[in-house]
Structure 1
Amino acid sequence: MAKLCSSSRNTTVRHTHRIAKFIKLKHAGLGSLAFPAQAGSGDAQALDWGSAPEPSLPFMVPDHGPARRTPALRQQKTNRGHSVVGHTVVYHESGLEQRVSSLLRTYKHLKRLVSQYPVVEYIDEDGVIHSHTFDYCIELTNGTRIGIAVKAARKSAEMTALLDRIRANGITGIGKGGRRTPGIIDAVMLATDAEATYELCENAYFILTSRDHHDEDETTRLCDLVKGLPGQVRFGQLLLNCASRAKRRTAIWRLIDLGVLEPGSLGRIDELSWLRLTR
């Protein structure tokens, strides 16, 4: 009975959210976006994908990169998994780590992302030497390497103190056989759930998807269109009067990824979000 009541309550909440969203869209003059677009020739063409593209050769089997450890695939208390970024398997051991890795992949100056690297040493207040493995390490296009520790915001003070000790020790890496390498990376930083929010992670998902699935012609048409618009425009306004709403939506995300469009505020991007031209 309790499960039935919970299911009914969740259904009611979702229905209430849909109504609230429709009202907001209607007030913004975008009420038609609350309903599926009628299938037209453009949408039919969008669904006609044809044959799959030929794979690029030579094929490279993804590896773990410089990861110093490979987490177990399953563990009852954590959300473990991995993603393949380029030719590297990137691990996450929690939902927070997964969100952080998704956000890192959207950074346009990112050259490489690896996980479980590097292992560095630090000295505690009693003079005892310890080691710490960074959750992620990124290499930027300018060659800068940054180790990223991922922790819940409530543990940020503790983790910040640990990072200070790592810096004080010269960010010294510990290699195989105990070999020490001072300055193994250029900088260290902390990422928490205060930055890697669910809303920003949802944005990251659409940005990453648009890289592989956007239509070049539609993206070019949209780019020409927005360059002629003054000031700001709502995301939903760009979905009106187009041949394929699906292609147009992906093209919008692609322009956001390219930096042609940017949101007017932080948070989840939806049909009501204001976008502005950056160049």
Structure 2
Amino acid sequence: MLEANTAAAIEVVPGAVEIREQWPTVTYRGDGGGQQSHIFDFWVRMATGLRVAIAVKPASKVETSGLARTIELIREQGVLRPLADATRVLTEAEVSRGVARNARRILRARRMRNEAEVEAARRDLAGRRGWFRFADPLRGLPVEAHRRTALWNLIDEGFLVAREDGDIVDRSLVRVAPLPTTA
């Protein structure tokens, strides 16, 4: 389940332009000197050009499985250099169930996006200040589901932000993101 949750979370990372699963496979020298191979769970290319090879493992198994040492050897030997610029090990600490649920809601909202509803939600929220419950803008609407989808689109865009990490539900506090300042 952790890999499936990670896949959803990676798909909504801002700036991710290419995602591969079960790639790359690299060969490295193990501690005993013999050839070993490792398949990364994901590979992501960012809009900036940064390429990241990602290994996914429950936190309790990162050390006992030898993954931490494997990644260390791969980095030391530079076998990823032609394929990736960085490596990451993701566990349930980075990809919680709440993060995955939010990612899946964003992916669904992308598929169901209604531009007119998104713009109506943006106009309605533009003047709001401070924190409010996620469900507050849904009250009194003839079809709450349309606006709910639009709110998830606005979270995806960064127009709305949650106060806390984790699963965003009706009682979660959100706010309109502050405008970026120019120096």
User: Do these two structures clear the TM 0.5 threshold for a shared fold by scoring above it?
Assistant: yes
Residue type at the aligned position of 1:170: G
Structure 1 residue corresponding to 2:70, chosen from 134, 151, 162 = 162
Residues 102-251 of structure 1: pairs in structure 2 closer than 5 A: 102-157=8-63, 158-172=66-80, 182-251=81-150
Residue type at the aligned position of 2:67: M
Residue type at the aligned position of 1:127: G
CA RMSD, Structure 1 to Structure 2 (Å): 1.3
Tell me the equivalent position of 1:260.
159
What number of residue pairs does the alignment pair up?
176
Distance, in Å, in 1 between the alignment partners of 2:111 and 2:32 is 52
Q: Give yes or no for contact 1:102–1:204 (8 Å, CA) kept in 2.
A: yes
Deviations 1:22-64 (A, max 9, x none): xxxxxxxxxxxxxxxxxxxxxxxxxxxxxxxxxxxxxxxxxxx
Gaps of 5+ in 1: 1-94, 173-181
1:101 and 2:23 correspond: no
Q: Give yes or no for contact 1:122–1:130 (8 Å, CA) kept in 2.
A: yes
Residue type at the aligned position of 1:266: D
Distance, in Å, in 2 between the alignment partners of 1:219 and 1:242 is 14
Distance, in Å, in 1 between the alignment partners of 2:157 and 2:79 is 34
- The TM-score with structure 2 as length reference comes to 0.91
Residue type at the aligned position of 2:35: I
Residue type at the aligned position of 2:148: R
SS at match of 2:175: strand
- The TM-score with structure 1 as length reference comes to 0.61
Deviation at 1:202, TM superposition (A): 1.0
Gaps of 5+ in 2: none
Distance, in Å, in 1 between the alignment partners of 2:29 and 2:111 is 45
Bigger Cα displacement from structure 2, 121-130 vs 255-264: 121-130
Distance, in Å, in 2 between the alignment partners of 1:224 and 1:238 is 11
